[in-house]
Every structure is written in structure tokens, then in C-alpha cells.
């Protein structure tokens, strides 16, 4: 039995991450998001557009 097994391969997990609000993919912290990390909800421009609630015109 190896204690190293268990899914953790020793990669540095120091950077914060969270899931995209649209596709659910994990987003890893980027330097460009440093200032607005709290407001980042989408992994890409595409998701950001898709994630915007569309106003349903009646």
C-alpha cells in the first residue's frame, strides 16, 4: 500500500479556484483576475455571455 496514492499528486494547490457558473469547469486563479477575483464567475467570454440572464420579452 502506498500512502502517495489517493488522487493527490503533490501539485501545488496554493492558488484559489472555483467553478464556472455556467459550465461548471474549475477555474484556476489567474493573475489577470487578481483584482476582481471575487466577481469572476465565468471561465471564458463565451460562458459570460451565456451566463447572462436573457431578458424574456413578452
- For Zn ion, the closer of residues 1 and 54 by Cβ is 54
- For Zn ion, the closer of residues 38 and 45 by Cβ is 45
33 alpha-carbon distance from chain centroid:
11
Q: How far is the CB of 33 from Zn ion (least distance, A)?
A: 14
In sequence order, what are the residues at sequence separation of 6 or more whose Cβ sits closer than 8 angstroms to the Cβ of residue 29? 15, 16, 17, 37
Residue ranges that bind Zn ion, judged by CB under 5 A: 20, 22-23, 43, 47
Q: Which residue has the cell 471575487?
A: 38
- For Zn ion, the closer of residues 8 and 42 by Cβ is 42
Amino acid at each position: 500500500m502506498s500512502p502517495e496514492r489517493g488522487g493527490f499528486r503533490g501539485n501545488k494547490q496554493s492558488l484559489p479556484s472555483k467553478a464556472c457558473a455556467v459550465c461548471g469547469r474549475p477555474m484556476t486563479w489567474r493573475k489577470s483576475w487578481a483584482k476582481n477575483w471575487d466577481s469572476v464567475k465565468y471561465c471564458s467570454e463565451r460562458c459570460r455571455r451565456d451566463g447572462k440572464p436573457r431578458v424574456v420579452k413578452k
